[in-house]
Structure 1
Amino acid sequence: MTFEAEITPGMAPAEAVELGCLVEEAGFDRLGISCVALWPDTYQLQALIAARTERIHIGSMVTNPYTRHPAAHASALATLQELSGGRAFCGIGVGAGLEELGIDYPRPVRTLRESITALRGLLAGDEVTLNGQVVKLDKARLIRPPAQRVPIAIGTRSEGVMKLAGEVADIALVGARHLTPEIVARYRRWLAEGAARAGRDVDEIEVLPRVTLCVSDDEELAVNSVKRFAAHYLDILGDYGPPVDPDRRRKIVATLDDATGWYFDLNRYDPPEMLDLIDADLARKFAVVGTPEQCADQIRELQTLGFAGVSCNLAAVNRGSMYDGLRETIEGSKRVLQLLAS
């Protein structure tokens, strides 16, 4: 079983590094640091965590192909791979927070394909010339390419990008949040179509579900902490989400107009009516949430869908700070992993 954890670094860098060390102590196999525009820098935090850890693999979860040229990504990844002794990976997708930069995710599949092509070549130590529609390189070569191969993970909710993952990724992250046998089968079909197009064996691609994970001994507090997540994903998934009474759905989506801040930011504002409209059952359609015992049971249910692991976007319990809330989830996750291993 492979267990990934993602930390969104809405805190002092030293606190994010400490949490990264706690994720390793909890027993996770991989650690992703969110790449959010205007937030603390993902690659600098990854390098700092690599210097303080020994076992866990470290990467972005996920970075984007828009704010950094693939050559800049390749340089950062080569540095991280050397510093960590071969523990780096690259999680890449469309990204988050680009609206404030005036970027509207143009040509995502083409941009990702050209960026990953450039990344692969540069990280392999090749001289790369690429005259793409998005990415341009002219006899470019890394000065210190990594000695070990850097795995590439693609996270997505879209058909086009999942097919691309089948073509080029080592790891595919199913970003639907709401997962049923039918939805999982759809993503696996897209992945297989992409793999077939590239002449690859789809079974060689590691497939993990992306879930929001919030753990606390206080079940009610944990559930309330992810209700904004549930409203967000109910809105963006539309017909692919769980069945909800149309009037109730409309009211939930309407509360997002009054909400402020990122759904994963503890400093956000969630309208009180949102908390009333979303009960524990609906929250659990989009998140693994509750006590350690409850979360372990929910992950066991995910395993019945054919996954050999899980990629967890750690959600902060509503405490005094994002650091305190994420620390509580990480400490609870240690117990979850122990239960799953028993």
Structure 2
Amino acid sequence: MVTLGCVVLPSNPPSRFVPLARAADAAGLEEVWLWEDCFRETGVAGAAGILGATSNLRVGVGVLPVPLRNVALTAMEIATLEGMFPGRFLPGIGHGVLDWMGQVGARAASPLTLLREYATALRALLAGERLTVSGRYISLDDVVLDWPPATAPRVLAAAQGPKTLRLVGEVADGVVITADTGLAGARDALVLIEEGRAAVGRTDPFHVVANVSAATGDDAVERLRRRVAEWGIDVSDDEKLAGYAIWGDAEEFAAGVRRFAEAGVDTVVVQPTDDDPDQEGLLRFLGEKVRPLVS
């Protein structure tokens, strides 16, 4: 069974986060996702506000950029939210946009090394381990969480390039796939992830989250075509567009979600266009009309 979620885009002001999340919760949508884009809302603060204002939603962050964050602080934040809202916070980590990391003096010379060290340490801290580590980027001296989660949440990681995808298979519990990856790209990504998992002998469960651009309304195709074209992708016909986006009535939407599920995606996160005229309406449509068809 595929899980259905939706992104609350960081282009929304902070004042819109809770109303949009409450609309999703009321509609029966399972998950809301946030991004920690520079220099907008922070993922952890936004997630905490939404978790406190809703009853059932799981809240994911896809993703927290690791160059910005000390791993011990991130572990403390995740453990705190897990302790307050058990099973409802879904943390993700990633390289971050390298230009943004450069703006704040945090760009890593080797993003792969940083992500490897960070994911390994973060998962260990959340599992309650006491760590002394001296790596290229991560340095911990006898660090252990006073309040580790009763059940450590899975740590997801974003990935696009082949090296990062293989690394995520090695060191993370799941992957967050960006919307510009598309359906065919998601299939290829999962092959690379499995190569990474096989290389270290991992057979434990692995969770796949994919962001997918989507829209409703009479101008949905036009808006989606403009959005996908911004990524430099040719979507001149509807068949090509369907490899990157979902639109239409509830049945057509559900069919689009199922296409990604059949490719191996566990959670489809609908990504509205920035110019969506009715975000609450989209959330109600997803929760009330689409979710019953894919659940």
How far residue 205 of structure 1 moved from its aligned partner, in angstroms, is: 1.1
Which protein is bigger by CA-based radius of gyration?
1
Structure of greater relative contact order (alpha carbons < 8 Å, 6+ residues apart): 2
Establish whether residue 130 from structure 1 lines up as the match of residue 133 from structure 2. Answer: yes
Q: Secondary structure at the match of 1:209?
A: strand
Establish whether residue 231 from structure 1 lines up as the match of residue 234 from structure 2. Answer: no
1-structure distance, mates of 2:75, 2:264: 33
2-structure distance, mates of 1:234, 1:105: 27
Q: Secondary structure at the match of 2:92?
A: strand
Residue in structure 1 matched with residue 242 of structure 2 by the alignment: 284
Q: Secondary structure at the match of 1:226?
A: helix
Q: Secondary structure at the match of 2:157?
A: strand
2-structure distance, mates of 1:55, 1:198: 36
Q: Which string of whole-angstrom CA distances, capped at 9 and with x for unpartnered residues, describes residues 185-242 of structure 1?
A: 432221111111221116x21224331222x2x232x23333343123336xxxxxxx
Give the alignment of 1:258-269 within 5 angstroms.
Answer: none
Contact 2:187/2:264 (8 A) holds in 1: no
Aligned partner of 1:114 among 98, 114, 117: 117
Aligned partner of 1:310 among 268, 273, 291: 268
Q: Secondary structure at the match of 1:92?
A: strand
Residue in structure 2 matched with residue 166 of structure 1 by the alignment: 169
Q: Secondary structure at the match of 1:154?
A: strand
Structure 2 unmatched runs, 5+: none
Q: Secondary structure at the match of 2:232?
A: helix
Q: Secondary structure at the match of 1:35?
A: coil
Residue in structure 1 matched with residue 191 of structure 2 by the alignment: 189
Residue in structure 2 matched with residue 254 of structure 1 by the alignment: none
Q: Secondary structure at the match of 1:120?
A: helix
Matching residue's letter, 1:338:
P
2-structure distance, mates of 1:111, 1:312: 29
Deviates more, 1:103-112 or 1:16-25: 103-112
Q: Secondary structure at the match of 2:259?
A: helix
How far residue 47 of structure 1 moved from its aligned partner, in angstroms, is: 0.8
Matching residue's letter, 1:332:
F
Pair 1:106–1:290, CA change in 2 (3 A): farther
> How many residues get paired?
290
Residue in structure 2 matched with residue 240 of structure 1 by the alignment: none
2-structure distance, mates of 1:311, 1:338: 16
RMSD: 2.5
Pair 1:337–1:317, CA change in 2 (3 A): farther
Residue in structure 2 matched with residue 327 of structure 1 by the alignment: 280
How far residue 103 of structure 1 moved from its aligned partner, in angstroms, is: 5.0
Q: Secondary structure at the match of 1:66?
A: helix
How far residue 289 of structure 1 moved from its aligned partner, in angstroms, is: 2.7
Deviates more, 1:111-120 or 1:98-107: 98-107
Residue in structure 2 matched with residue 336 of structure 1 by the alignment: 290
TM-score (norm 1): 0.76
Give the alignment of 1:84-99 within 5 angstroms.
Answer: 84-96=85-97, 97-98=100-101
Residue in structure 1 matched with residue 202 of structure 2 by the alignment: 200
2-structure distance, mates of 1:138, 1:282: 52
Establish whether residue 178 from structure 1 lines up as the match of residue 182 from structure 2. Answer: yes
How far residue 131 of structure 1 moved from its aligned partner, in angstroms, is: 0.8
Contact 1:177/1:212 (8 A) holds in 2: no
How far residue 152 of structure 1 moved from its aligned partner, in angstroms, is: 0.9
Establish whether residue 4 from structure 1 lines up as the match of residue 5 from structure 2. Answer: yes
1-structure distance, mates of 2:113, 2:26: 39
Structure 1 unmatched runs, 5+: 236-243, 245-276, 320-324
Residue in structure 2 matched with residue 153 of structure 1 by the alignment: 156
Q: Which string of whole-angstrom CA distances, capped at 9 and with x for unpartnered residues, describes residues 59-86 of structure 1?
A: 3111110111111211111111112133
Matching residue's letter, 1:193:
E
Q: Secondary structure at the match of 1:60?
A: strand
Pair 1:84–1:208, CA change in 2 (3 A): same
How far residue 17 of structure 1 moved from its aligned partner, in angstroms, is: 1.5
